Amino acid sequence: MLFNIRKKKSRRLLLNIVFVLSLETLGSQTAYAEKNTNYITVQVFDKIYSGIFSGKEENGMPEGKGSVEIEFNEEKWSLSGEWENGKLEGDAEIKNEEGAIIYVTYEEGVVNGGVKEVLADGSYKVYKCNQGEKYGSVYEYSPNNELIRRDWIYENEMISSLTEEASEFTYEELLQDPETYKKRIMKLTGEIVAVYNTDGEAYLKILGEDGNIYWGYYKNTLVNNYKQARVPNFEIGEMGDFYGTFEEVCLLSTDALYNTKSILNLNPKRFDSVSIAMAYSSMLQYKDSDQGDRNTAVLDKDFYNSCPKLELFYAEKNGFEDINKKELSLDYKEICEFPYLYSGNKKQIEGVVRQEIINYADEEKVYAAFLLETDKHELYYVTYYFKDETKIPVVGNRIKIKGVLKGNYKTLYYDEKEIKTFYLLMPRVSVVEAN
């Protein structure tokens, strides 16, 4: 059986189907058919396949029930479902010869919604997909419906698979021939000796076990569903295992670089007197930053040394082994330490509104962001669209919310005691219901 697959160079082989098919990226192209032929092209997640169609047709295009038989790299499998105007629409099944099945839902030729992969032995995994892109958590179950483990997706691949690909390279190898190792997955074990932040990223200065300095960086604000690094909020002195792609050997170059302070390190009894800038903190931005063109609140001797730099996608630190990743505790301290392990988890919170910013620009609903303090002095950054303006809380009001954890909220904070500006980190919650 012959079929064509359009090709685009990829940095590595991707295994996107449980029965191991090698696929090449094509972007966001949807499924389609060529008129008056049984040759058809379909999109499965973020990849494109072509094969032979059998089923109902209308005006030379698939319409109603039908399936595509595909053969690639000596693997045979089929995609069956409902078709509308030559595109898949609704529930569909992907099967291979060994009995594995993937249950998906199509919307205009693209996979959307929940996905269930079932192996021949009855074990299975579930996760979500949006516009062909896998994202979020992956839950793996035994044939008896027992939760075995929880994993996460990073750029359409499970993080556990990516970590298995990691290699350990020497400092000398990276410095002497960086182009050879560029984009290779690397594992680094070391101690955090500094933590810096910009408005959207964290920069970890890591003292490797070899005694050399490495830089690791990742995005650490509102969770990125498709490319979110599952990296804890590290403190200076903590040991960790770090996984990422090697980028380059370079000077660390970024503006507005500040030290970091966790909300856990603030005196909870000082919330009433602490000035936390929730938005547009230009007044604080360079308050203690008179250090030339770098516009940075910190100086570090290693800013002026070329060091290996990694884009991190995962890390584990001391105490990580004590976390039950299958059933997270929803403990506040744990949420603050591991915000991106908790992203997507639901949580109910009751507390007092301490600060609030309201945007009335939308005629149909009002956007509000506020700091919510619980009776245990736990502080959350909360966002919500109020369709009923009479329910917008007032500072000092006690409210109950049901929401979804969304990573870190990050804001500049001037500590008068230390005479220093920090990026302050706290849990971010997107509210589903408030009363």
**Domain interval for residue 67:** 32-156
Report the CATH number at residue 113: 2.20.110
Integer CA distances (angstroms), 60 to 24, 54, 138, in order? 28, 12, 39
Residue 89: inside a domain: yes
Residue 15: inside a domain: no
| Bridge partners (DSSP) listed for residue 421 | 414
The whole-number pLDDT of residue 186 equals: 98
Residue 258: inside a domain: no
How many angstroms separate the CA atoms of 222 and 225, rounded? 9
Q: Give the model confidence (pLDDT) of 66-119 as tens digits.
A: 999 988 777 788 999 999 988 999 999 999 888 899 999 999 999 999 999 999
Residue 137: inside a domain: yes
Q: Give the model confidence (pLDDT) of 142-183 as tens digits.
A: 999 999 999 999 999 999 999 999 999 999 999 999 999 999
- The closest alpha carbon to 422, from 257, 282, 194, belongs to 257
Half-sphere exposure of 198 (CA within 13 A, CB side): 13
Number of domains into which the chain is organized: 1
Residue 129: inside a domain: yes
The answer to whether the CB of 343 falls within 8 A of the CB of 228 is yes
Structure tokens at 429: 């919650």
Q: What is the mean pLDDT of the chain?
A: 84
Residue 55: inside a domain: yes
The answer to whether the CB of 22 falls within 8 A of the CB of 16 is no
How many angstroms separate the CA atoms of 341 and 326, rounded? 11
424 contacts: CB under 8 Å, gap ≥ 6: 260, 261, 262, 263, 266, 276, 410, 411, 412, 413
Structure tokens at 430: 């997107």
> What pTM, to 2 d.p., does this model score?
0.84
Residue 22: inside a domain: no
Q: Strand 47-58 to strand 39-44: parallel, antiparallel, or no bridges (unpaired)?
A: antiparallel
Q: Strand 133-141 to strand 201-208: parallel, antiparallel, or no bridges (unpaired)?
A: unpaired
